[in-house]
Structure 1
């Protein structure tokens, strides 16, 4: 009898919903991609706290979803093919993001022009943008690209190799970078950080299909004794891990909690904000030139809504006075279409004024607008919230047309009679009186203050004194230094004194007001008679006084039409020991042409599951990507710093920047110059350092440098230090050339790897400038 043995039946396919079924595999495959998307999106939430609206967070969420899904869909492709496919998706999403941002910010121009401008200036504009940042092409490009690349690297490492914890590194770095960029400009990101940790833990808690058997038990199929030993080891390892985590939490939690309230470093302090040329730093000296050319067309204005009477258009606010010149002294930050809103004082009402302004012959970078601007379309601007003034960093051009919506402030005049003026450190800048004020000025201010006790009465007395005793003439020389003001106020009338333009009237009021204890400033702008051309004859300067509960109030010290001025000696007489000046002081030199506006600063395996090449390649690729991004950022910041030092600002500032380039080169070469050395001693060290470096490394040394050129640069620096107003643009160009050639010559003596490090060394960004 033959006995047949039946072969065992093949195992049946697990049903859906049972361990190992399609639903179980799906549930194991979804959590890690979702965790990566959520972690990258949380970085966008953290960064979006300093943006004006949620557009950036939405664009980063789209980049996270797109990059991770591309990697998920391409898992069956060779690993070397995933990156090109993902980069193509990145290009498409980046262009769509730029289009959405440009439309949101109402920026003119084609998509190609917008993309090129954003790619060139994204990093510096992001770090110099005003808080809150408006989502614009140049402020969203870097975050969107960083989010997509983060998703690509994280998904490849976590999904293709199964190393989830290693795949969390790119999102963690992106999150830390977002926290750093925000800096002290928002509240601590406690809630997003807790959610970030929870999402990461959830992704780790669910095992993937690569490291879990069909039954879900790693010891399944082993002999009972071996199975017990394996389970015991797993239990011991888990217990040890819990102990280590609890110990780390107990040790680090107090330290981290103590750091929550610390004020972080703001990376924006490493980047030079947009600057104005000397022509715009002191626009008060342009009043006399405009007065001599009254028919010159500067602007074309059309009021679209709001104002029934033609409002004053403000060009600049000058708050700093050193006894020689009034200066703007503003810090401009790149701004979007919507400008930050500041609440007006309780005694001030506002009405909305919207004007379309077309630039004609007005030069410089200052952008005229009715105070206080709230929205600007048609031009990219930078804004100073302290003064409410605007600049166009690229400079004004004939034909430029923009629309500005302003909240015009109207103080309650009924509160002025009893209003006080503020005091203390907050207003020290607008109360400061430089040393050297002529004694007659002090005596006149004292006389007007003693006769009028209340602040508003003092301001009105100064206004009436100037309006009653002086006359306006278009041919008065420019100048508002102490000698110019003394001659204007007390000089003999038959010798050219006691007459001037609005420059002298506004400057005299502001100085007399500060001597009388009033916080004052000077405003330069235009007072057009209505819509249409704004000509040079409409240019004017006027003083403003700050009152508590009311804000800045303008005053008009100009004489009334057809009013014969009274004799100054009838109401004020200089003492014999301090006779009035009898000679006309030298007028302030007025620029006759606008310096060319500087260009905007400018700102990269086989399928094998757990195979070593894939794991090593993913890790190295992540490190190379992050390192390249960091080096590129440092190189762009260093280049922008050098450009700002050598090519922006007045000649004195550029010469000082050239000297800082030379001393930074010495520090980068390991031969820093001590702060106790004179300029000539530093120049001697610079010559000796270059000679020793060339002797130690003979051969081609890059730019040739004459031995005496560091001494020439030291001489230019001493000239700026002791005669700051004598430096010329040609001397500044010479200083920039000397500093650049010295740094190039010294860098050429370094080994190749030190030359590379020289370019991206972060030292000059943080060394005291």
Structure 2
């Protein structure tokens, strides 16, 4: 049989061809198997980043969406490997837009957010990062809290796949996924347990992705020394071994150097990035809604909101006692009134009761807090429609657990809500609340808590009028138990004062002093619920009771809530019972008794002793009377000359006194900032700051910590410079507070450099605060004698 030259002969040809075909298929399968681990490793690493971030989210939705983004981005790059590299990015971004739109729609549906997809996407894109960093934990997966993680995960998958698969740089391709994982750890911060297991899994997946493609038999095609002379081959292999050994040594050295430091960070508390982002704030109108009571009282018919019960309320257990009269508004399922709460005011500086809450963006489901052990809980569900109510504070029965129809921010400490975008007429939302009713049978024996946890609601600002302090002392001395003291304050206010609608607004110390002790014929001893609630809270704190003021509305059930339904009431914190409302308002059918029957604002002075005065006998003859012809010539200087000389002398004395005060003040400042050891100079700089606050009308209490005084100093300068933008600001008061703490708790450790910084900080702050004062106050700043005599 004749065969063509070069053609394989019969059987051998068939056998050889089959063997070659099977070998090619095996090699192709091997290459495919070796190409799979890297994409799978990228998907797993990005998915683990989503799992780490998902620990602060409510439910698994975010983790699933991030995993979907990882799968989609990597598979798009794998499928587009044969296309030009410049086409991959547009294709992948188009796929990302589709997946993002689907995810946002799913998140909006889960959160029951109204509006179209375009509006939801635009709002999420504009507010995604700040809302993510200010959201309450656990974070509800809403469009604005999932958009940033989704886009970041997709872009990490795209970049990693292109570098690792197209360029063949696997280790460099892992960098985007590693950065995403580190960002997730940073965002979570101290708000979850350490992700040790997830981190080990991340490292293991990365190691498998690096090792598996290089596994398999070494062929001649894969040997870099193949085809070389034996001597050259040996030299190449020796260099490769040396390079591998050097790389291994570097890895081991880095592990030995960085391992202990990394291990020590496992139990450390990470930095919370939320501290760098300002949470949603209330407007100036809402900072102290207590001052709005008098305005609402003058327009009682103004419709503020509409309330409709959305389904029956869950009844309280049988035998639950009645709440304090008039402490609530609006009946629940048992016919008992339930108030609609607007704001809780916990901070008082002697001038204004303020909200002082820290609001965090929240989703539909609000984090639950444990109820007081000795209180019963019932569920109240209401649909509320805003009418003429303005501001950001969102009315709701305490304590809200679920809100639909409005985006809210929530403060779990006070259980109050705000709408960061502000209230608008027609806004309708549904709120489900867990209303607590304390067991009032336990009040007579209940005690009030003490310590740092309640220091905020026990703090009394400086400048308390003496009659207020003496009245609180009298009521406390007559009643030893905590509830008895609170009831005594409540009864005293209800029996001696009149509730009117036309009383002027104001609850500073002078206003309360006039309300309690002013003459009735001049408008004293009468006020709105603003003065009653504020007076109760101040007297309660002076008597050792943790108190706060609540502003809200009475509601008779379904129907409108008008301005006349707005009122304020005080609350006292009891162990085991939580915050218990009190009602210091007088009964409509009772005439108030005079305050003097039970308390005298001015202490009685003892009558003077009747001692007869001795008679003094004249020792000189009487002066002769002037002749009737006219006044005698005194023979001295004229009256005009005497008046002019006296006036000029007085002016000279005043100018001399001012110059002496100026020199003494400057000498005091130099002595504080320049003389003594570093600790004394730092203490002197701190005295300069506190004296400046007192000169500016913002004195600090002796019970405040240095950090609290620094925060008050920042607020004082910010308030002062709001009307004078040209005045300077200095942000190093916090550093000065740290230095004064160092001096107090570690004497002798301060350095001259620290003392110089403290002096410069104090000088800059005082200069900035003084520059923000009116011109005539700046002139008097340096000559006021107060800092020379104020007790340290």
Q: Could you state the TM-score of these two structures normalised by the residue count of structure 2? A: 0.73
Do the aligned residues in 2 keep the contact of 1:15 with 1:21 (CA within 8 Å)? Answer: no
Partner of 1:652: 719
Of 345-354 and 714-723, more deviation after overlay is shown by 714-723
Give the alignment partner of residue 139 of structure 2, picking from 107, 115, 133: 133
> What is aligned with 1:50?
56
User: Hey, what does 2:647 align to over in structure 1?
Assistant: none
Alignment of 1:409-424 (within 5 A): 409-424=436-451
Seen in structure 2, the aligned counterparts of structure 1 residues 507 and 11 have a Cα distance that, compared at 3 Å, is same
Call closer, same or farther: CA 1:4–1:67 in 2, change over 3 Å.
closer
Distance in 2 (CA, whole Å) between partners of 1:208 and 1:288 is: 80
Note the C-alpha offset of 1:495: 2.5
* Distance in structure 1 (CA, Å) of the matches to 2:171 and 2:485: 71
- TM-aligned CA distance change 1:721 to 1:374, over 3 Å: farther
Kindly state the Cα deviation for residue 496 of structure 1 after the two structures are TM-superposed.
1.7
State the alpha-carbon separation in 2 of the partners of residues 266 and 660 from structure 1. Answer: 32
1:256 matched to 2:259? The reply is no
Query: How far apart in 1 are the matches of 2:770 and 2:457?
Result: 35
Q: Is 1:552 the equivalent of 2:638?
A: no
Q: 1:64 maps to what in 2?
A: 70
Once residues 395 and 578 of structure 1 are traced to their aligned partners in structure 2, the CA distance between those partners, rounded to angstroms, is 56
User: How many pairs does the alignment contain?
Assistant: 616
Q: After TM superposition, list the pairs within 5 Å mapping 1:461-476 onto structure 2.
A: 461-476=488-503
Deviation at 1:241, TM superposition (A): 3.6
What secondary structure, in the 3-state scheme, does the structure 1 residue paired with 2:761 have?
Answer: coil
- Asked if 2 retains the 8 angstrom alpha-carbon contact of 1:301 and 1:357, the reply is yes
Q: CA deviation at 1:475?
A: 0.9
1:722–1:558 CA distance, 2 compared to 1 (3 A): farther
CA contact (8 A) 1:278 1:649 kept: no
Out of 87, 98, 105, the residue aligned to residue 104 of structure 2 is 98
Deviations 1:80-110 (A, max 9, x none): 1111111111111111111111111111100
CA distance in 1, matches of 2:225, 2:425: 80
Structure 1 position 23, deviation (Å) = 2.7
**Contact residue 220 and residue 226 of structure 2 kept, 8 A:** no
How far is 1:127 from its partner?
1.5
Match of 1:427 in 2: 454
Q: 2:167 maps to what in 1?
A: 161
Deviations 1:681-721 (A, max 9, x none): 77xxxxxxxxxxxxxxxxxxxxxxxxxxxxxxx88733599
Map 1:230-245 to 2 at 5 A: 231=237, 233-245=239-251
1:15 and 1:5, CA in 2 relative to 1: closer, same or farther beyond 3 A? closer
The residue that corresponds to 2:32 in the other structure is 26
Larger Rg: 2
User: Which of 120, 123, 144 matches 1:117?
Assistant: 123
Q: 2:90 aligned with 1:84, yes or no? A: yes
| C-alpha distance in structure 1 between counterparts of 2:518 and 2:349, whole Å | 22
- One of 344, 347, 368 as aligned partner of 1:320: 347
- Structure 1 residues 654 and 266: alpha-carbon distance in aligned structure 2, compared to 1, 3 A threshold: farther
SS of match in other structure, 1:553: strand
2:156 corresponds, among 150, 160, 164, to 150
Which residue of 384, 389, 392 corresponds with 1:357?
384
Contact 1:332 1:382 in 2 (8 A): yes
Q: Residue 727 of structure 2 contacts residue 772 of structure 2 at CA under 8 Å; is this kept in 1?
A: no
Instruction: Give the drift of 1:34.
Output: 0.4
1:600-749 map, 5 Å:
652=719, 655=722, 675-678=761-764, 717-719=772-774
Q: Which residue does 1:35 correspond to in 2?
A: 41
Counterparts of 2:763 and 2:728, CA distance in 1: 16
- Correspondence for 1:442: 469
Counterpart contact for 1:679–1:717, Cα < 8 Å = no
Matches within 5 A, 1:187-266: 187-207=193-213, 231=237, 233-266=239-272
Gaps of 5+ in 1: 580-647, 665-671, 683-713, 724-769
Q: Secondary structure of 2:483's partner?
A: helix
From 403, 409, 420, give the equivalent of 1:393. Answer: 420
Are the counterparts in 1 of residues 720 and 772 from structure 2 also a CA contact under 8 Å? Answer: no
For residues 145 and 351 of structure 1, do their structure 2 counterparts lie closer, same or farther at Cα, with a shift above 3 Å needed? Answer: same
Contact 1:277 1:649 in 2 (8 A): no
Distance 1:372 1:294, change over 3 A: same
> Secondary structure at 1:465's aligned position in 2?
helix
Greater Cα shift, 3-12 or 154-163: 3-12
Distance 1:572 1:146, change over 3 A: same
Unpaired runs of at least 5, structure 2:
314-331, 607-714, 732-756, 779-792
- The alpha carbon displacement at 1:19 in A equals 9.1
- Partner SS, residue 718 of structure 1: coil
Alpha carbons of 1:657 and 1:96: their partners in 2 closer, same or farther (altered >3 Å)?
Answer: farther
State yes or no: 1:298 paired with 2:304. Answer: yes
Q: Which residue number in structure 2 is paired with residue 726 of structure 1?
A: none
C-alpha spacing 1:51/1:441, structure 2 compared with 1 (3 Å): same
User: Against the structure 1 CA distance between its residues 239 and 657, is the aligned structure 2 distance closer, same or farther, given a 3 Å change threshold?
Assistant: farther
Question: Among residues 327, 338, 356, which one is paired with 1:329 in the alignment?
Answer: 356
Alignment of 1:398-547 (within 5 A): 398-547=425-574
In structure 2, the CA distance between the partners of 1:444 and 1:676, relative to structure 1 (3 Å rule), is closer
Contact residue 98 and residue 141 of structure 1 kept, 8 A: yes
Q: Distance in 1 between matches of 2:42 and 2:584?
A: 66
Task: Output one character per residue of 1:403-447: Cα deviation in whole Å (capped at 9) or x when no partner.
Answer: 011111111222222111111111111001111111111111111
Aligned partners of 2:558, 2:422: CA distance in 1, in Å?
24
Partner Cα distance (2:722, 2:6) in 1: 98
Cα distance between partner residues in 2 of 1:95 and 1:720? 58
Partner of 2:179: 173
Task: Say which of 252, 262, 267 aligns to 2:273.
Answer: 267
Q: Deviations over 1:230-260 (max 9, x none)?
A: 5555455444444433332232221111111
- CA gap of 1:661–1:269, structure 2 versus 1, over 3 A, is farther
- Stretch deviating more after TM superposition (673-682 or 93-102): 673-682
Query: Does the 8 Å CA contact 1:147/1:174 hold for their aligned counterparts?
Result: yes
- Contact 2:515-2:527 at 8 Å conserved across structures: yes
Please give the alpha-carbon distance, in whole angstroms, between the structure 2 residues aligned to 1:265 and 1:578: 62
Are the aligned partners of 1:183 and 1:267 in contact in 2 as well (CA < 8 Å)?
yes
What is the rounded CA distance, in whole Å, between the counterparts of 2:196 and 2:775 in structure 1?
Answer: 49
Aligned partners of 2:727, 2:18: CA distance in 1, in Å?
78
Q: How does the TM-score come out when normalised to structure 1?
A: 0.75
Residue 277 of structure 1 corresponds to 283
Secondary structure of the residue aligned to 2:584 is coil
> In the alignment, is the contact (CA less than 8 A) between 1:20 and 1:215 conserved in 2?
no
